[in-house]
Amino acid sequence: EAQVTQNPRYLITVTGKKLTVTCSQNMNHEYMSWYRQDPGLGLRQIYYSMNVEVTDKGDVPEGYKVSRKEKRNFPLILESPSPNQTSLYFCASTPFYGASGSYEQFFGPGTRLTVL
């Protein structure tokens, strides 16, 4: 089954304790991305990756890191989490079609993070 998986699904942690949220896709997609979802703000892009070893900042990258060492995996790293990073996080992937735009992005089930 084609899917994007995320782990963990739920996480409660404390300020300053490093954590990693994993994301994996089994569709051989080049492009992967992280979003955070907050009430009244919709989804905002944190980081994206066009392919292995190619990553760049989205709209709200502060406090986050990513890596893309393998095509299927795109972990999100919070080196020193703070309460304002309490949010619902989604990973997404798609084949890279460049300028065509006529594609579907596949989303993971989400990770609900609470930072105390």
Partner 1 sequence: GDSVTQMEGPVTLSEEAFLTINCTYTATGYPSLFWYVQYPGEGLQLLLKATKADDKGSNKGFEATYRKETTSFHLEKGSVQVSDSAVYFCALRGPLSNFGNEKLTFGTGTRLTIIP
Q: Which residues bind partner 1 (CB under 8 A)?
A: 4, 31, 33, 35, 40-45, 48, 50, 54, 56, 58-59, 90, 92, 94, 96-99, 101-105, 107-110
Q: Please identify, using beta-carbon distances, which residue of 14 and 27 lies nearer to partner 1.
A: 27
Which single residue is written with the structure tokens 């409660």? 12
What radius of gyration, in Å, describes the C-alpha atoms of the chain? 14
Q: How far apart are CA 107 and CA 116, in angstroms?
A: 27
Min dist CB 46 to partner 1, Å, is 11
Min dist CB 69 to partner 1, Å, is 19
Min dist CB 37 to partner 1, Å, is 8
Q: Please identify, using beta-carbon distances, which residue of 40 and 69 lies nearer to partner 1.
A: 40
Q: Please identify, using beta-carbon distances, which residue of 51 and 82 lies nearer to partner 1.
A: 51
Q: How far apart are CA 55 and CA 31, in angstroms?
A: 10
Secondary structure, 3-state, 43-83: EEEEEEEEECCEEEECCCCCCCEECCCCCCECCEEECCCCH
